[in-house]
Structure 1
């Protein structure tokens, strides 16, 4: 059955599985090297904007992503052809990275501004200076809270193929809007043109509200947005390359 999967989708799945196994063997060092850190973090490297798409945080993470790609990828690969399918996949992954970190940038600026107002020298801290809290007890508590949030953005990377795969799903929903799929907790199949907007709205809320539970929800939105834009443009000329 695996040999019947179109080559691009099959190879993406194989690469993800290989990287997952290597990561499991080598541990955190490879995560630090290949996962995508905030672009202004000292841990960021340019290649991470690509390599993070092949990293996963656990068995269930990679299983869910690869099963989703297996479900939607082959149809799109056959419809769009190799070149456009590859563009869709990697452009969606890049869109995920940039939207997620655009929001991170907004948060960093907001946190830094409040820290400065509380008398904390953010620039000195980011340059490697020792932490120096000052002010009232309440002020110091707030400084520590904000600094913890700032450190989370700088030191916790994003990883996974979810952004790229959300782009694939969004493209599928754009090209085949009346297709019905089953999903957990919904007893009947639902058309993808209704399901995808619901998922995107929920992801935006969770990403902006900070209730994401460690999931990069805005990365999903970024991937879906790019996938929708590409498929919407390509749909006008579908028969030209189908």
Structure 2
């Protein structure tokens, strides 16, 4: 059955699974290839791409790869290899971009408040351990707590790219029906996607993220939708 999956989707799944397994033997890859905030000392340019192939848990990679397996082959066959690759990677870039634009807005606000409080934010970012015994006010401590996940947090997973695939699928095949957990009947994908996107925006903006980069999902979906809108007028020419 695996050999029947179109080659691009199959190879993406293989690469994701391979890197996830290799990361157990080389744990440093979880930091070296993860995506960091561009102003973080841990940021490297290649992470904009490599973060799409790293995952944080078995359920994380299982859910992502199953979703790609469910939606990817149809798009790969209808769009062709080149456009499908463009869709996948641009959606991943869009996910990284939107997530970090929001992080930058938060970072600027926190930076300004900490600077006004006389806190050496650049020194802290460069060497947070050296501030372990520094006494600060409760408000400053709260700001540092908000700063830490932005500067030192890692972004991993193919979710942004896969949300682009889902959004493109919903745009090109809006009447297709999919099964959803806890809902006894299949639902048209054109109804499911807007609900998921609105929910992701709410969770991302309010901060109720639970360790999930919800705004990255939105960024990927926006790119997938835009590309599908551009391409769908010429879909039959591709084939």
Instruction: Indicate the TM-score class for this superposition, using the shorter chain for normalisation.
Output: over 0.9
* Alignment partner, residue 193 of structure 1: 190
Unaligned runs of 5+ residues in structure 2 are none
Question: 1:57-206 alignment to 2 at 5 Å?
Answer: 57-128=56-127, 130-131=130-131, 132-133=134-135, 140-206=137-203
Superposed displacement of residue 133, structure 1: 4.5
Name the Cα RMSD after superposition: 1.3
Superposed displacement of residue 214, structure 1: 0.4
Q: 2:205 aligns with which of 202, 208, 228?
A: 208
Aligned length: 236
2:55 corresponds to 1:53? no
Superposed displacement of residue 128, structure 1: 4.5
Is the CA contact 1:120–1:133 (under 8 Å) kept in the aligned structure 2? no
TM-score, reference length from structure 2: 0.95
Superposed displacement of residue 116, structure 1: 2.2
Superposed displacement of residue 79, structure 1: 0.1
**Equivalents in 1 of 2:168, 2:190: separation in Å?**
11
**Equivalents in 2 of 1:24, 1:205: separation in Å?**
34
Superposed displacement of residue 123, structure 1: 3.6
Is the CA contact 1:133–1:143 (under 8 Å) kept in the aligned structure 2? no
The SS at the match of 1:236 is: helix
**Equivalents in 1 of 2:184, 2:127: separation in Å?**
54
**Equivalents in 2 of 1:94, 1:30: separation in Å?**
20
| 1:18-55 per-position Cα deviation (integer Å, ceiling 9, x unaligned) | 0010012222x111100001011000000000011000
Is the CA contact 1:36–1:158 (under 8 Å) kept in the aligned structure 2? yes
Superposed displacement of residue 124, structure 1: 4.1
Is the CA contact 2:40–2:125 (under 8 Å) kept in the aligned structure 1? no
Unaligned runs of 5+ residues in structure 1 are 135-139
Tell me whether 67-76 or 187-196 shows the greater mean CA deviation: 187-196
